[in-house]
């Protein structure tokens, strides 16, 4: 079985914060972890912000961004999900970058795991399986 992991969860692998223990438990599970490959930019951006605010050592931000691809069993290119993502974004009135995760969950008939309340609500509106971290 597969889980779709969004950036709100993946960032917790590289930066200690509320929910990091639960996020790390996903890595130890038997589930395949999938995401659209745009997650790499989102992880990098979140780690950059933390480093700018002195919440994370810049070396950790670089290391996390560099190592992030290895945490996933599969990363899908956006062109495979773009049409469905925009359809979902328009239907649920939610930013398209988040809807790539929802589209992937639909495509794989998998559960989306998120720590983002707005993403959780959008996924429920789109009627995909979703779990709050």
Q: Please give the chain's pLDDT, 133 residues, in tens.
A: 899 999 999 999 999 999 999 999 999 999 999 999 999 999 999 999 999 999 999 999 999 999 999 999 999 999 999 999 999 999 999 999 999 999 999 999 999 999 999 999 999 999 999 999 9
Tokens describing residue 58: 């810049």
Retrieve residue 88's tokens. Answer: 């979902």
Phi, psi angles (nearest 5°) of residue 31: -75, 145
Residue ranges of domains in the chain:
2-132
Distance separating alpha carbons of residues 47 and 27, to the nearest angstrom: 19
- C-alpha 126/C-alpha 120 separation (Å) is 10
**pLDDT at 131 (0 to 100):** 97
CA gap 15, 27 in Å, rounded:
15
Please give the CATH superfamily to which domain 2-132 belongs.
Answer: 5'-nuclease (3.40.50.1010)
10 within 8 A of 26, measured Cβ to Cβ: no
pLDDT of residue 1: 86
């Amino acid at each position: 079985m597969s889980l779709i992991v969004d950036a709100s969860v993946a960032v917790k692998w590289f930066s200690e914060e509320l929910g990091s223990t639960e996020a790390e438990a996903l890595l130890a599970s038997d589930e395949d972890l999938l995401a659209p490959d745009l997650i790499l930019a989102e992880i990098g951006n979140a780690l950059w912000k933390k480093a700018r605010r002195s919440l994370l050592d810049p070396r950790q931000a670089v290391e996390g961004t560099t190592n992030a691809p290895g945490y996933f069993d599969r990363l899908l290119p956006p062109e495979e999900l773009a049409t469905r993502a925009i359809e979902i974004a328009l239907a649920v009135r939610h930013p398209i970058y988040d809807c790539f995760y929802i589209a992937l969950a639909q495509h794989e008939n998998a559960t989306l795991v998120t720590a983002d309340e707005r993403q959780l609500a959008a996924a429920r509106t789109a009627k995909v399986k979703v779990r709050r971290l």
